[in-house]
Amino acid sequence: MTRITQLNDSTLTEVERQRIEKAFADVPFARLLNIEMGEMERGKARLHLGVRDELRQNNGLMHGGVIASLIDTAAAFAILTVLEPNKTTTTVDLTIHYLRPLIKGRATAEARVVRAGRRIIVVAIDVLDEAEHVAATALTTYIRLT
């Protein structure tokens, strides 16, 4: 199982941390892409993804759909840090601005819950390249299902 690194134990309990790690291990698409879990704290998640040939489009850049998947996954895990156990959500919309190409190295998605309302949750996400330049920025809305 992937471990959460640099966990802020004062923010997430051991039970919450274990629930998040289990949820991450249970996402087959994240495993397919090789997304790595990074730092987690209440309302925030950092996920990483290495740029590799299978994830490139025909011009040699990381495919926009892969970046979108990294963004959506990071948002979902930021939400999971504030979501009650046994509750579920799904994406309603996702707006991405691609600002700079990802060509090599490792991309990092930093997701932050902007507002967690009774039904709607809004998350802002930045994707950074290895030099920590913003390569993409996004805003997404999720809806609580249960």
The residue among 5 and 106 whose pLDDT is bigger is 106
Q: Containing domain of residue 119, as a range?
A: 14-144
Q: What is the reported pLDDT for 11?
A: 77
- Is 4 a member of any domain? no
Write out the DSSP string of 76-137: HHHHHTTSPTT--EEEEEEEEEE-S---SSEEEEEEEEEEE-SSEEEEEEEEE-TT--EEEE
- Is 2 a member of any domain? no
- Is 93 a member of any domain? yes
Cα separations (Å) of 134 from 44, 63, 64, 79, 97?
17, 16, 14, 22, 10
Number of domains in the chain: 1
- Is 30 a member of any domain? yes
Give the HSE-up count for residue 126: Cα atoms under 13 Å, Cβ half-sphere.
Answer: 7
CATH number, residue 40: 3.10.129.10
Closest to 41 measured CA to CA, from 139, 144, 111? 111
Q: What is the reported pLDDT for 3?
A: 41
- Is 8 a member of any domain? no
pLDDT in tens, 2-37: 444 443 444 799 899 999 999 999 999 999 999 999
Please tell me the pTM assigned to this model. 0.91
- Is 3 a member of any domain? no
Stretch 67-75: mean pLDDT, rounded? 98
Query: Cβ contacts of residue 15 below 8 Å, gap of 6+?
Result: none
- Is 6 a member of any domain? no
